[in-house]
């Protein structure tokens, strides 16, 4: 992967091996949920965010490149995504999607077209 879409940015503060499970997730415009699970794998890093009651318990897959800052003292992960971008993301179903490369490509296309990523219309 040449554009590091599924990799944490060097300035995010991510430390490999840190367990982010249960940490708060903050969108660019406020609290969005908590980390249900995550991956630190090289070029395959992501967060699965449980949005809880905010949007009826939906889980979404967030590529690691969307993480702008990790706050270890506050146990919070900050994203370069708005609440609406997270809310409108395709639902993540672990048993169905975790190893599904086509789903992963759909997620990439969703965030590239509307998210803050190179080639998208976002802020980065």
User: What are the structural domain ranges in the chain?
Assistant: 24-113
DSSP secondary structure code for residue 16 in this structure: T
Indicate the pTM of the whole model: 0.83
* Between 12 and 115, the higher pLDDT residue: 12
Q: CATH fold of 24-113, please? A: SH3 type barrels. (2.30.30)
Which tens digits make up the pLDDT trace of 5-41? 889 999 999 988 999 999 999 999 999 999 999 998 8
Average pLDDT over residues 91-104: 80
């Amino acid at each position: 992967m040449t554009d590091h879409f599924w990799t944490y940015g060097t300035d995010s503060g991510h430390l490999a091996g840190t367990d982010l499970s249960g940490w708060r997730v903050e969108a660019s415009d406020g609290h969005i949920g908590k980390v249900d699970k995550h991956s630190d794998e090289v070029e395959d890093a992501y967060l699965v965010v449980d949005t809880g009651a905010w949007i009826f318990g939906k889980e979404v897959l967030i590529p690691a490149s969307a993480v702008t800052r990790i706050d270890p003292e506050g146990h919070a992960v900050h994203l370069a995504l708005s609440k609406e971008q997270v809310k409108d993301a395709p639902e993540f179903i672990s048993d169905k999607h975790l190893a599904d490369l086509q789903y992963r490509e759909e997620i990439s296309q969703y965030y590239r077209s509307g998210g803050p990523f190179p080639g998208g219309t976002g802020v980065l």
